[in-house]
A and B are shown apart, each in its own frame.
Chain A
């Protein structure tokens, strides 16, 4: 990956009223998730009701930005043509310290040296002109 990620024209998020706070936080370099005040579960992606107990009592919390790599893939042939200039690049499943898992872009230096179980931290990254909550090894 030698391309400037901010210069890509990859598809961005299809933001809704409910999810807007998540993407606004991302734009400011933060990662937020929902917390259910009724059952105590953490929820990501953002929803109108808690998927664990169907409560509406969801509040926003800031994530610590710490997580662990549950799995990853070095993508050589991207599924979307707009990603071709960036290939190969790494996507991974990041389990946040707070519980939920997010699929994210993994910044790897040196290139592609990832391992499952690796500790990660939030690395807000400009992709296609938007700051997204990417991750990098600690």
Chain B
């Protein structure tokens, strides 16, 4: 690989095993646990952290989130912020961390997302357009919105239920190699997915992520700082981001999303192309989002993901490796931290630490994040040690 510019380095990762319920634990506790794992992994001390990026914390800390986290962890960063981009928050954090470092504001940024899960989840009372104009008609939550995208894709391109289910099938297959995944040891093949209950047509239950509790963290530093640590690091080679709307009724397109722009910008900045990626670590809240992302990344023509995916081996030894940790469809979706599972897995693969699911000679990974209904999009190209 020719020398590429590094905009920043990921030197530490942390991940909590997902669980269905947390029985009285707090988000702050989970943040503390996963942050410690990431700092230990990087070989740093808590005192090294001088930048902090966290997510919104519905029901626990609605405001002053960074200060609350700083106080709990006993850190005093020189830069702190909330990144509120839904499933794109994690990827959004990584380039923001690098940007803050490159602007001279800080050197070691902790990016952390974690969530609890109670039997009765906290609901955030909204008073905004999506609440006013979608909810009264029976469209609450993300399932109906993604069902609308999927139906539109089927109608426009003739894609089939089987095409979409194939994505969930690979997620489950890959999850069988990840003992942390919520669906580890729970295989499901194409028939199981197609026979799972219809939730909002054409979406079946097993095409939708299972909500779990969990936590993920990464430590971002400059490439120069990373060198001093003397550990295998992963480089940010390029990033792109695009935000277009909130509600599905306002979406500029139902069959292509802002990830198209974000991915194109990430490829341009990193001087890489889709086909040279060792790993596609694609945000997968629903099968349909992966389908559209494959097309938006330029891996195939619009409408042809079904043909592209058919007869392909998407495992770690396959033609193209997709979400080797099982994706969120296989791992579970720990709320906003779900998006960070795609980064943490890419780092493992690029460091050569993915054990029984290691991709041979993994050099580059495309990581995507997606928030709301194809509304908030961030793409990263990550590379192994140059």
Contact = CB atoms under 8 A, between A and B. Distances in A.
B248 A45 contact: no
Contact of A91 (B132, B138, B202): B138
Contacts of A14: 126-128, 131-132
Given A14-B132, A19-B132, A132-B136, A79 B141 contact: yes
A16 B132 contact: yes
A123 interface: no
Contact of B200 (A73, A86, A104, A132): A73
A73 B202 CA distance: 7
B199 A103 contact: no
B143 interface: yes
B272 interface: no
A103 B254 CA distance: 13
A93 B249 contact: yes
Contacts of A104: 137
A18 B29 CA distance: 43
Interface in A84-118: 86, 89, 91-93, 101-105, 115-117
A78 B138 contact: yes
Contacts of B133: 13, 45, 102-103
B372 to A, nearest CB: 14
A101 B198 CA distance: 26
A71 B153 CA distance: 9
Contacts, number: 110
Interface string B224-242: 0000000000000000000
A66 interface: no
B139 A71 contact: no
Nearest to B255: A71
Nearest to B153: A71
A77 interface: yes
Contact of B148 (A10, A15, A73): A73
A120 interface: no
Interface string B146-174: 01110110011000000000000000000
B248 A103 contact: yes
A78 B140 contact: yes
B118 interface: no
Contacts of A92: 148
A102 B247 CA distance: 10
Contact of B151 (A72, A77, A101): A72
A12 B248 contact: no
Nearest to B131: A14
B129 interface: yes
A10 B138 contact: yes
B197 interface: yes
A117 B250 CA distance: 18
A83 B144 CA distance: 13
A31 interface: no
A16 to B, nearest CB: 7
Contacts of B249: 93, 101-103
A70 B129 CA distance: 20
Interface in B182-229: 197-203
A93 B248 contact: yes
Given A10-B136, A103-B137, A72 B148 contact: yes
Given A70-B152, A70-B254, A71-B155, A45 B129 contact: yes
Contacts of A19: 132
Contacts of A45: 129, 132-133
Interface string B250-279: 100010000000000000000000000000
A65 B251 CA distance: 21
Interface of B: 126-129, 131-144, 147-149, 151-152, 155-156, 197-203, 247-250, 254
Interface of A: 10-16, 19, 45, 70-80, 83, 86, 89, 91-93, 101-105, 115-117, 127, 130, 132, 134
Q: When A and B form their complex, which 6 residue pairs have the shortest distance between CB atoms, in order from nearest? A: A79-B141, A79-B140, A116-B155, A73-B147, A80-B140, A71-B152
Given A13-B133, A79-B141, 8 more contacts: A11-B135, A13-B132, A19-B132, A72-B151, A75-B147, A76-B197, A80-B138, A91-B148
15 contacts: A16-B132, A19-B132, A45-B129, A71-B148, A71-B254, A75-B139, A75-B201, A79-B142, A79-B143, A80-B135, A93-B152, A103-B247, A103-B248, A103-B249, A116-B152
